[in-house]
Amino acid sequence: MSLTVLSDDDIRNICESLTGAETEVLADQMRSALREYSTGTQNFEAGLIHQPERTVVQSNATNATTLFMPSINADGHAVKESTIANTRPTSCDAIRGNPAPGQPTLKPTGSVTVFSPQGAPTGFLHAKTLTAFRTALASSCLLTKRQHVRTLTVFGSGLQAYWHVRLALQLRGDKVKQVYVINRQFSDSAQAILQKFYAVPAEIREREGWADARFSVLTPSYGEYERLTKEYVRAADVIYCCTPSHEPLFDPAILTNTNGRRKGRLIVAIGSYKPEMREIPRELLEQAVRGTHGSGGIHFHKHATEGGVVVVDTLDGALKEAGEIIEAGIQPNQMVELGELVMIRKAAQEEDSIASSTPSSADISSDLDKLDLTSGSSAMSSIYGRNSTEAALERRGSGGNGEGSSADAGRGWMSPKRSGSYTSLFSKKHKRRSSSQGSDRTKQQQQQQNEPDHLARWLTSGNVIYKSVGLGLMDLVVGTELVRLAKEKGIGHHIADFS
């Protein structure tokens, strides 16, 4: 078996040259892995998929933190090593990244080693661009659902900022008209990020639909920085937070007051990775988990839909490493993993594909059965509301029928129990055919079935906050595919018969 060695330049060349079809293959693989991770189908004993906690070591000599992130799935396994310079929580106006006084300057660095299922190394990859690309690829699972993506506002100007915007342009470029980059200090990366977008060949910009999109960079050197920051945040349909900040990046009142709540936004926060770090204001998270669905309260002002939860890539990781989540006191039942939402979408697509046939509905709902939508402690019941899931359970005529796996118990969130019917989860076009519902539905159930789906409204046009701290599983999925593409395109260094 050969070993493929890919430098950062190799990986950047592959990612920059991806076609829409190739990106979609990667996105499908990412969605599938996240779905398996989040819905309880991971089985450590069978060795199908496993994502253990990362190991963290710190060097007193260099004041750097090194992370080791192993993962495994049916296609193989991988170990990522990433070294990051520790930061000084001093000035809240500057991007961190400086070592303590007297310590050497360190730039983030790392690698990903990919192995076959039998254990032979198949790839050794530089982690710089790979990390930024795979993080943005996961975030795009939410972006593709959004109704409005006309204006993108991104905090930061590094690789994470670039790739989040770059994939947004590739996937939704025909809708994007304005990109605002806000950097809290004037830097080389702030100067270079626009050049990267303009360097994309004109034919690719035309093909992806963003040839006429406008780009601008804002730094504190501009006299109206504070006013324009508020304007750019308020105007945004999508906000990307991509900085290692120790303080919130913007005033929460911009989005929590009456005017700020009139418009729904997707807010993606991926820059903070330690308990003392934070990018999103606490007040914004508190507003998100309060929600409005099923509260019965009277609202005097029109505002965007709230889901009542915060979306995370990994529940365990967010509880331990996401400073915003920890500071705001967000509980496990106020979070939902991205893989759960991906699973709902997959089930909806499957139902669409069989709308004209009559297979057993159990085949479609098998994944949904792994979620306890009726439990008051489940974050999913916050999205759907308990009434709708309880009524669906009555239609189904079944209750919990099993215990959670050992992996689920270890993660401490929800065990896979047979839930209510999935008919209450989708918009009108996803409703189950009446022939499978029986003839004794109550008037209340019929009304529930005709209501617009809260989940769909929230994900497409509501306020959605996604907090990611990263998963080694993401590196495994993308790293494996990059090795395949490198061989196919003749990129990188390939060592034949490596053992």
Asked if 184 and 97 touch (Cβ cutoff 8 Å), the reply is: no
Helices 128-143 and 338-353 pack at an angle, to 10 degrees, of 50
**Helix, strand or coil, per DSSP, at residue 400:** coil
Category of 412 on φ-ψ map: left (φ > 0), alpha (ψ -120 to 50) or beta: left
Burial of 247 (0-12, 13-18, 19+ CB in 10 A): middle
Tokens 């993962």 -> residue: 71
Q: Would you state the structure tokens that stand for residue 151, as one six-digit string?
A: 């204006």
Rounded-to-integer distance, Cα 489 and Cα 379, Å: 44
Q: What share of the chain is helix, strand, coil (3-state, %, to 5)?
A: 40, 15, 40
Query: For residue 125, what are the β-bridge partners?
Result: 6, 112
Burial of 211 (0-12, 13-18, 19+ CB in 10 A): middle
What is 23-79 written as a DSSP string?
Answer: HHHHHHHHHHHHHHHHTT---TTTTS-B-PPPEEEEETTTTEEEEEEEEEETTEEEE
Q: Would you state the structure tokens that stand for residue 221, as one six-digit string?
A: 């050197």
Q: How many CB atoms lie within 10 A of CB 394?
A: 14
**Stretch (H or E) spanning 217:** strand 214-218
Sequence letter at residue 113: T
Asked if 1 and 114 touch (Cβ cutoff 8 Å), the reply is: no
**Which among 458, 451, 287, 315 has a CA at the least distance from the CA of 377?**
315
Asked if 383 and 337 touch (Cβ cutoff 8 Å), the reply is: no
Long-range CB pairs of 292-297, under 8 A, 24+ apart, other chains included: 293/382, 293/383, 293/385, 293/454, 294/385, 294/386, 294/387
Query: For residue 63, what are the β-bridge partners?
Result: none
Per-10-residue mean pLDDT of the chain, 499 residues long, equals: 94 91 88 84 58 85 86 91 66 38 65 94 96 96 93 96 96 95 87 92 93 95 92 97 95 93 96 91 93 45 84 93 94 92 66 50 41 48 48 35 33 31 32 37 43 76 95 94 94 84
Query: For residue 151, what are the β-bridge partners?
Result: 178
Contacts of 467 (CB under 8 A, 6+ apart): 269, 270, 280, 310, 311, 312, 313, 318, 322, 324, 325
